[in-house]
């Protein structure tokens, strides 16, 4: 096995010099291996044998020590350096003479594993390396628990170019950071395509913000007993240059992750309040407009100021605005969200708990938070025809809501039988394609000025 010495690890050099050295060593090893393979192929041809399938598997592997920067900041460079030395020792114990080991950054190691019998054996070997390097370390009397993950690119399954092999291994490694339960990830073209799609969508989100290509559609919310339209929910869409509408399930998670959800969410609140005032001026008898609020917005210090500005600029009352928060986002940020929600509620803003029943929240939260509405997730209604227990569960939720003086809105009402059920269960409000699909602002205006509601699908 070829690897760096302890002195090499301690040498202070530029990042570019270190990378060049790593690349040269790995390229040399790959070239030597390729020469051996060509020589073997020549021997096979001389002996009259032909075999187009490779008899062994080679791979580039990148190992990462997670939270290494936090460890170094907390305990100092000496502890981090000692940890690197101990990891190297464990790695040496897993590798063979033909393998190459190089440290490529403070918390990453590159391996070139050669002449593995099969992909299955490669998977076993990489899993063993990760398991061996993970776990407990003792550095300067400190007991540390280290998580190690690996990204693997098989040579030359998708490329014979060295730089691309390392890039593919790093793409695979990125996936392990997204999934805590996966410590080893092999590169596949789908991972690259997902990353390219992500980059394209991130560019599209930023351009849409600059060029004001976000739009709101609106879905009515009906009073179940009278079929009266009493509110609308604002639904975000991204409009491409060619007019295509992109639905939020394709970009919301990325917007949250990239931090773009804050300016997008700011615009949504402003636009929803402005549109509500326009409907008021046109004589539409709506009680309120609902806006979805993301986790990032919920814990952002400026949310209250944004709501204040939007309500005051539009000239509407605070009670005309309803903020919808998902059960999952509330659970993850309950301590920070509680004060914000109480302050907004004190101003008169309505608070709705969306997708109720999909998370794992304690029912105690329902009494602690200033909620006005429980929105029952659509999955409950979808199960009505298949699971008789769903009806009892929904009725139980309605009962709890009544005891807590909360309104209940059933989401995802798609047919007449579901409408009849929620009416028999004394549900307050309904929303879904069975009543009306989301509409543009212009279409919604026309509908609101008509006394009759759309026919059920």
For 326-381, how does the pLDDT look when each residue is reduced to its tens digit (9 = 90+)? 877 777 777 788 889 999 999 999 999 988 866 555 577 777 889 999 998 888 88
* Sequence-separated (6 or more) residues with CB below 8 Å from residue 403: none
Of 172-186, 278-292, 401-415, least confident by mean pLDDT is 172-186
Query: What is the Cα–Cα distance from 406 to 374, expressed in whole angstroms?
Result: 7
pLDDT value at residue 53? 46
pLDDT value at residue 393? 84
Q: Return the higher-pLDDT residue of 242 and 5.
A: 242
- Position 5 confidence tier, pLDDT thresholds 50, 70, 90: very low
> Among the ranges 23-27, 92-96, 116-120, 144-148, which has the highest mean pLDDT value?
144-148
Q: What is the pLDDT of residues 287-324, one digit of tens each?
A: 999 999 998 898 888 999 999 999 999 999 999 999 99
Percent of the chain with pLDDT strictly greater than 90: 58
pLDDT value at residue 413? 92
From the CA atom positions of the chain, what is the Rg in Å? 29
Q: Which of 169, 148, 131, 126 is nearest to 64 (CA)?
A: 148
Main-chain phi, psi angles of 275, to 5 degrees: -65, -40
Query: What is the Cα–Cα distance from 185 to 177, expressed in whole angstroms?
Result: 10
Q: Which of 59, 112, 63 is nearest to 90 (CA)?
A: 63
Q: What is the pLDDT of residues 126-148, one digit of tens each?
A: 999 999 999 999 998 899 999 99
Kindly state the helix (H) or strand (E) to which residue 87 belongs, with its residue range: helix 77-92
Residues of the chain with CATH 3.30.70.270: 6-187
Q: Which of 305, 234, 297 is nearest to 265 (CA)?
A: 297
pLDDT value at residue 43? 33
* Sequence-separated (6 or more) residues with CB below 8 Å from residue 419: 224, 413, 430, 434, 435, 456
Whether the full predicted model's pTM is greater than 0.75, yes or no, is yes
pLDDT value at residue 25? 55
* Sequence-separated (6 or more) residues with CB below 8 Å from residue 198: 254
Taking all residues of the chain, what is their mean pLDDT, rounded to a whole number? 85
Residue 34 pLDDT more than 70? no
Please tell me whether the peptide bond between 156 and the residue prior to it is cis, using omega within 30 degrees of 0. Answer: yes
Query: What is the Cα–Cα distance from 457 to 453, expressed in whole angstroms?
Result: 12
Q: Return the higher-pLDDT residue of 380 and 284.
A: 284
β-sheet with 184-186: strand ranges across? 100-105, 108-116, 57-65, 148-155, 184-186
Residue 457 pLDDT more than 70? no
Of 80-84, 131-135, 173-177, least confident by mean pLDDT is 173-177
Q: Which CATH architecture has domain 202-448?
A: Alpha-Beta Barrel (3.20)
pLDDT value at residue 160? 66
Q: Return the higher-pLDDT residue of 43 and 422.
A: 422
Euclidean distance between the first and the last CA atom of the chain, given in angstroms as a whole number: 69
Query: What is the Cα–Cα distance from 34 to 74, expressed in whole angstroms?
Result: 44
What is the fold of 6-187?
Answer: Alpha-Beta Plaits (3.30.70)
Query: What is the Cα–Cα distance from 159 to 245, expressed in whole angstroms?
Result: 36
Strand partners, 195: none
Residues of the chain with CATH 3.20.20.450: 202-448
Of 9-18, 70-79, 169-178, 213-222, least confident by mean pLDDT is 9-18
């Amino acid at each position: 096995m070829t690897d760096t010495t302890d002195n090499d690890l301690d040498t202070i050099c530029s990042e570019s010099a270190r990378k060049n050295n790593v690349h040269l060593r790995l390229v040399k090893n790959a070239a030597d291996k390729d020469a051996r393979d060509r020589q073997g192929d020549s021997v096979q041809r001389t002996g009259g044998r032909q075999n187009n399938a490779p008899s062994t598997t080679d791979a580039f592997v990148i190992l990462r020590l997670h939270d290494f920067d936090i460890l170094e900041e907390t305990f100092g460079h000496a502890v981090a350096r000692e940890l690197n030395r101990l990891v190297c020792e464990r790695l040496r114990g897993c590798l063979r003479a033909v393998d190459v080991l190089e440290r490529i950054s403070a918390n990453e190691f590159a391996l070139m594993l050669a002449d593995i019998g099969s992909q299955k054996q490669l998977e076993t070997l990489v899993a063993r390396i990760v398991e061996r390097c993970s776990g407990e370390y003792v550095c300067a009397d400190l007991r540390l628990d280290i998580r190690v993950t690996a990204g693997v690119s098989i040579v030359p399954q998708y490329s014979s170019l060295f730089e691309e092999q390392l890039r593919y291994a790093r793409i695979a490694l990125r996936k392990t950071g997204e999934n805590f339960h996966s410590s080893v990830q092999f590169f596949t073209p789908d991972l690259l395509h997902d990353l390219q799609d992500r980059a394209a969508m991130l560019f599209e989100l930023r351009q849409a913000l600059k060029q004001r290509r976000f739009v709101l559609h609106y879905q009515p919310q009906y009073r179940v007993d009278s079929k009266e339209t009493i509110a609308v929910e604002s639904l975000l869409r991204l409009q491409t240059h060619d007019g295509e509408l992109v639905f939020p399930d394709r970009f919301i998670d990325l917007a949250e992750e990239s931090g773009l959800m804050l300016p997008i969410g700011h615009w949504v609140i402003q636009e929803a309040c402005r549109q509500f005032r326009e409907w008021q001026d046109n004589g539409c008898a709506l009680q309120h407009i609902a806006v979805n609020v993301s986790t990032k917005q919920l814990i952002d210090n400026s949310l209250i100021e944004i709501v204040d500005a939007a309500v005051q600029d539009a000239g509407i009352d605070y009670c005309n605005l309803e903020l919808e928060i998902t059960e999952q986002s509330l659970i993850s940020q309950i301590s920070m969200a509680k004060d914000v929600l109480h302050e907004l509620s004190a101003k008169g803003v309505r608070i709705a708990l969306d997708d109720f029943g999909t998370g794992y929240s304690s029912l105690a939260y329902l009494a602690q938070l200033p909620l006005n509405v429980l929105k029952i997730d659509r999955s409950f209604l979808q199960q009505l025809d298949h699971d008789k227990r769903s009806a009892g569960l929904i009725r139980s939720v309605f009962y709890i809501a009544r005891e807590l003086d909360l309104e209940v809105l059933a989401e995802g009402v798609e047919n007449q039988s579901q409408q009849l059920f929620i009416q028999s269960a004394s549900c307050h409000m309904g929303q879904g394609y069975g009543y009306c699909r989301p509409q543009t602002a212009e279409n919604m205006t026309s509908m609101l000025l008509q006394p009759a509601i759309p026919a059920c699908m």
